[in-house]
């Protein structure tokens, strides 16, 4: 059976992409709504930052506790179970808002759901990564991983747009209810994608939605490259450490700008939930376009690692001083695109660099590092805005990105890493 005639891998890949897209819509719709509603109820950027941190830090702690057991068990079954919790969280928020609960209870519900979902999202990434490596060939798994990330960004654009419409008419409860419905659709897609066990012959035949012969596949980190050998030498530990270290700046920067976007929207368009949702949609659209450029080969992984953080620093500096609405939206979309390309390269490396029986564990460790950066950045963003002002917060981000980008040229670049990302 060839890659072009194997029906089940194609079907499994399509269902998996459906899951990523619908989950991307639901996650963004819910996240935008929580951030906007928490600021709307409290008018406190520190509370908004805490909501952002709650979406990451509990998952870091719990993920590290269970990391040694992540590579055991049935990845497909566990992926299905974790998505039931996503559905339950959105349903709870819809009920709390419909009941017109007091501010303290509503904010507490936001925090509880954010904390629980932080762990579930960590497990989802680990189980989905294991499932992709087990069900698809290594080269085609790269393409499926990239396309799934791009479709998650597409879902994010749709989720941001839906939030803009619903928040514009004050329909916060409908935001949560819609997210719950979308998580239900995503759960169904997961069940369809994982309904049948992998067959070794079919696994070798081809890759889900990519459906590309092995000799035409992309390299291990997403750049056009030579055919990957069936058994490659183990990735040096130093390279794995570099993946962890350089996951910090871009992973932390994205929640930083998401948190700072709330007071930014208030400064540029006071009292407008529409403008905040527009910023979020612009960010997701930028991320989608970046993902498409990377997966299509228009951007190289090596080029992204060399330039993305430095470009992000320049864009953050622009946002610190610009208050023209169209200019802010444009800068926010572009910085989101640039940072997303860096995150995507790190995600692909996380899935493809370690040995197959270590994918889940390394994914959890990398998510713990990235999650700590995300949670800390969200807290710092709120604190910097409250303590030093909005412009200073963006300038601090610019400085961190600039230092990280410059350090790559002296620390991150080495022969093994450049071979891994197709730099040679």
Task: State the pLDDT at residue 122.
Answer: 73
Q: pLDDT digits over 33-84, tens only?
A: 888 888 888 878 778 778 877 777 777 777 777 666 666 666 667 777 778 8
Task: State the pLDDT at residue 72.
Answer: 67
Q: pLDDT digits over 356-396, tens only?
A: 667 777 877 887 788 788 878 888 888 888 888 889 999 99
Task: State the pLDDT at residue 317.
Answer: 95
234 has a pLDDT exceeding 70: no
Task: State the pLDDT at residue 311.
Answer: 95
233 has a pLDDT exceeding 60: no
Who contacts 344 (Cβ-Cβ below 8 Å, separation ≥6)? Answer: 146, 149, 222, 290, 291, 294
Q: pLDDT digits over 114-164, tens only?
A: 888 778 777 777 777 777 777 776 566 666 766 776 667 667 667 777 877
- Lowest average pLDDT, out of 58-67, 254-263, 274-283, 323-332, goes to 58-67
**Short-list 297, 290, 381, CA closest to 343:** 290
Residue 190 pLDDT class (50, 70, 90 cuts): confident
Q: pLDDT digits over 284-295, tens only?
A: 778 778 777 776
Scan for tokens 């570099």, then name that residue.
Answer: 242
């Amino acid at each position: 059976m060839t890659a072009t005639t194997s029906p089940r891998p194609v079907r499994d890949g399509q269902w998996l992409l459906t899951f990523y897209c619908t989950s991307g819509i639901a996650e963004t719709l819910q996240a935008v709504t929580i951030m906007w509603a928490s600021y709307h109820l409290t008018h406190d950027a520190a509370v908004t930052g805490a909501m952002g941190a709650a979406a990451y830090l509990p998952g870091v702690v719990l993920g590290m506790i269970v990391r040694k057991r992540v590579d055991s068990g049935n990845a497909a079954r566990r992926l299905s179970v974790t998505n039931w919790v996503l559905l339950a969280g959105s349903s709870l928020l819809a009920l709390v808002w419909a009941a017109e609960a007091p501010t303290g209870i509503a904010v507490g519900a936001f925090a509880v759901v954010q904390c629980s979902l932080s762990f579930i999202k960590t497990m989802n990434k680990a189980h989905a990564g294991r499932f992709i490596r087990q069900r698809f060939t290594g080269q085609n798994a790269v393409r499926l991983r990239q396309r799934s990330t791009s479709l998650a960004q597409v879902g994010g654009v749709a989720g941001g747009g839906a939030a803009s419409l619903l928040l514009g008419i004050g329909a916060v409860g409908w935001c949560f209810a819609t997210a719950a419905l979308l998580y239900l659709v995503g759960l169904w897609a997961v069940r369809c994608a994982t309904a049948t066990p992998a067959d070794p012959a079919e696994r070798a035949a081809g890759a889900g939605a990519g459906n590309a012969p092995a000799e035409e596949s992309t390299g291990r980190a997403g750049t056009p490259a030579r055919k990957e050998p069936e058994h490659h030498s183990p990735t040096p530990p130093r390279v794995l450490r570099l993946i962890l270290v350089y996951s910090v700046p871009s992973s932390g920067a994205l929640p930083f700008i998401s948190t700072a976007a709330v007071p930014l929207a208030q400064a540029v368009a006071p009292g407008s939930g529409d403008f905040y949702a527009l910023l979020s949609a612009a960010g997701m659209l930028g991320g989608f376009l970046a993902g498409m450029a990377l997966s299509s080969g228009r951007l190289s992984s090596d080029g992204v690692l060399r330039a993305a953080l430095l470009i992000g620093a320049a864009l953050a500096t622009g946002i610190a001083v610009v208050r023209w609405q169209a200019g802010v939206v444009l800068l926010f979309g572009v910085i989101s695109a640039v940072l997303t390309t860096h995150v995507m390269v790190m995600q692909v490396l996380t899935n493809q660099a370690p040995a197959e029986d270590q994918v889940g564990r390394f994914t959890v460790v990398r998510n713990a590092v990235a999650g700590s950066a995300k949670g800390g950045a969200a807290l710092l963003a709120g604190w910097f805005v409250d303590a030093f002002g909005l412009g200073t917060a963006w300038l601090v981000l610019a400085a961190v990105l600039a230092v990280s980008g410059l350090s790559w040229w002296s620390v991150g670049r080495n022969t093994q890493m450049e071979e891994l990302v197709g730099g040679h």
